[in-house]
């Protein structure tokens, strides 16, 4: 992998990740852009104890542009995009309309491929491996920013999810706090370690799921399963078999096997609802140990946390979506219409030949 860092016309950082070591990236962004001005603010809810990002400037962000005006395609034929070069393998750049900025964190966009019509599932294994390297590198770099306590790499796919740009891409949020979902995991992890005489909750969950009937696929280094208490109609958790706290901890074997396992999972998601259906909308979310904020969880450290990816769709059956209504949105109590065992069986049925 070759990494080349440059700056866009408004001062934002852009990084090319190339498969070839001899790639040259010298294109300059000629657009007359004003310096980025954001007003992100983090407010704490005193009742729930969580945080809300107030980012009014995002009201003016790019919204469903036509394909020939996509800001994530390479610049070509006189049309200038967010990527100055006429080609790229993988690109990461600071979001022009960030939810988090300055002391409130940082937001980045990850372009998986220059092919506007593709999806992550269409990537070649070496391209998927390069995305993994980009996620890992950005996690390392962002963890050194003074305000950052947690790095979150994720992909939203599909208009049903709320995606406003159709080009295959993901995002990275560098939070200045530990997210509420991670706080819940840390709380459960610490309580289980105390009550079990030192055992690790993640290890016990993985061992129990591996021995059960919700495993979707298993490799030498990765295990994918539908969790016992899945929140979403089709939800898969992907764990490295060797517990590590973050993407930086993956060994070469896990890195080499990841593209095959992950691409197969994504392709199965697109086959869940049968031939002729539109692509399955999904969210793919990496959960990594925070780099700070562990002081309130006695008895555990970063190495107790288990890196894993959660992949889920809001589609519950052909033509029907799972909406977060009263119980889910009002009280955070999910109601799942698809039994996890049935979801796992379906995901095994649609394995590629």
Count other Cβ atoms within 10 Å, centred on residue 39.
Answer: 12
Q: How many CA atoms lie within 13 A of 166 on its CB side?
A: 12
According to DSSP H, which parts of the chain are helical?
Answer: 125-142, 180-195, 201-210, 252-269, 331, 340-349
Indicate which residue of 57, 64, 116, 169 is catalytic: 169
Q: What are phi and psi of 203, to 5 degrees?
A: -65, -40
Q: What are phi and psi of 263, to 5 degrees?
A: -60, -35
Specify the DSSP element, H or E, that contains 309: strand 308-313
SS3 category, 317: strand
How far apart, in whole angstroms, are the C-alpha atoms of residue 88 and residue 74? 7
Q: Which pair of structure tokens corresponds to residue 299?
A: 């008895």
Whether 169 sits among the annotated catalytic residues: the reply is yes
- The residues annotated as belonging to the active site are 169
């Amino acid at each position: 992998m070759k990494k080349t860092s440059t700056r866009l016309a408004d001062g934002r950082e852009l990084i090319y990740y190339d498969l070839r070591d001899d790639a040259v990236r010298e294109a300059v962004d000629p657009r007359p852009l004003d310096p980025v001005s954001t007003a992100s603010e983090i407010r704490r809810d005193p009742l729930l104890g969580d945080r809300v990002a107030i980012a009014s400037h995002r009201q003016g962000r790019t919204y469903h542009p036509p394909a020939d005006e996509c800001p994530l395609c390479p610049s070509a034929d006189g049309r200038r995009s967010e990527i100055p070069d006429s080609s790229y393998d993988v690109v990461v750049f600071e979001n022009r309309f960030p939810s988090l900025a300055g002391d409130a964190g940082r937001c980045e966009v990850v372009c998986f491929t220059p092919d506007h019509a593709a999806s992550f599932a269409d990537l070649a294994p070496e391209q998927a491996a390069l995305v993994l390297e980009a996620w890992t590198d950005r996690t390392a770099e962002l963890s050194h920013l003074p305000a950052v306590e947690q790095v979150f790499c994720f992909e939203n796919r599909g208009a049903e999810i709320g995606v406003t740009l159709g080009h295959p891409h993901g995002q990275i949020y560098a939070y200045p706090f530990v997210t509420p979902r991670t706080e819940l995991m840390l709380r459960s992890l610490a309580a289980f370690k105390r009550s079990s005489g030192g055992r690790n909750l993640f290890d016990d969950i993985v061992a129990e799921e591996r021995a059960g009937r919700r495993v979707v696929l298993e490799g030498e280094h990765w295990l994918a399963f539908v969790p016992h208490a899945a929140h979403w109609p089709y939800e898969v958790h992907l764990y490295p078999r060797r517990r590590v706290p973050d993407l930086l901890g993956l060994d070469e074997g896990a890195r080499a096997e990841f593209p095959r396992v992950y691409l197969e999972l994504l392709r199965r998601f697109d086959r869940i609802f049968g031939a002729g259906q539109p692509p399955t909308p999904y969210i793919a979310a990496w959960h990594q140990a925070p780099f700070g904020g562990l002081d309130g969880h006695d008895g555990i450290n970063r190495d107790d946390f288990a890196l894993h990816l959660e992949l889920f769709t809001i589609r519950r059956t052909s033509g029907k979506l799972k909406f977060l209504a009263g119980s889910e949105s009002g009280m955070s109590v999910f109601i799942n219409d698809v039994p996890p065992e049935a979801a796992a069986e379906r995901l095994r049925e649609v394995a590629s030949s």
